[in-house]
Amino acid sequence: MDNLSTTEENYIKTIYHLQQSDANVGTNEVAAKLNTKAASVTDMLKKLNAKQILNYEKYKGFSLSDEGQKIALGIVRKHRLWEFFLVEKLNFRWDEVHTIAEELEHISSGLLVERLDSFLGHPKFDPHGDPIPDSNGKIEVQPQINLVDLPIGSSAKVSAVGSQSSELLELLTHKNIAIGTSISVIRKFSFDNSLEIETNASIPFTISRELALALFVTLLKEN
């Protein structure tokens, strides 16, 4: 069926991710994500269309086929398992792992992925809180909301970060917030949209709207 090049895999994964949030993805968006040009994207669209990996009609649009979706999920699975490995076993920080996983995700051995998965104890989420598809491509979706949407008084657990930047990690480390940390919102200030929050075992403190927007949480209990 398929022996895909690294380049083809990167296109497939990128199109998959873009289609998650935006149903009508265009060549320019893909080009921007892959640091290439729209003309190159068109070339690849034709190639992937010929391989039945996506459905493409010129000038009308394109989307991954079922087969393409499956391939994409396989790459995402590998990417996130390797990220987990790098953080849990090799002591990388989560702001360092994406680039390396971008290469590791293209190692072809299927057996390797499954052995790695076992070795890691079948993790469900990567270091950024993103779900790891299982070997069938199923994703466990945890109902999560943005911290800015968490009602005052509700308690929640940080489940994912919206950015993988060192800057975010630096701030979170300083504020003692990590994935798994319990948070409840005490007050919101309309002047600058900052939030007063309380975490596990500390006195309340204030965080910016920017920071809150970068945090996703799962509800624990309502008030």
Q: Does 26 bind DNA (CB under 7 A)?
A: yes
Decide which of a second copy, Mn ion, DNA, none touches 93; Cβ closer than 5 to 8 Å per partner kind.
none
Q: Is 96 in the site for Mn ion (CB under 5 A)?
A: no
Minimum CB–partner distance for residue 178 and Mn ion (Å): 15
Cα dist from 136 to 10, 48, 72, 75, 140, whole Å:
20, 22, 12, 12, 12
Q: Is 3 in the site for a second copy (CB under 8 A)?
A: no
From the number of C-beta atoms within 10 Å of its C-beta (0-12, 13-18, 19+), residue 196 rates as: middle
- Out of a second copy, DNA, Mn ion, none, what residue 187 binds, judged by CB under 5 to 8 A for its kind, is none
Where does 110-158 have alpha helices with state H?
110-119
Q: Which position among 12, 45, 104, 195 is part of the footprint of DNA (CB under 7 A)?
A: 45
Stretch that binds DNA, among 24-32, 105-113, 126-134, 214-222 (CB under 7 A): 24-32
Is residue 95 near Mn ion by the rule CB under 5 A?
no
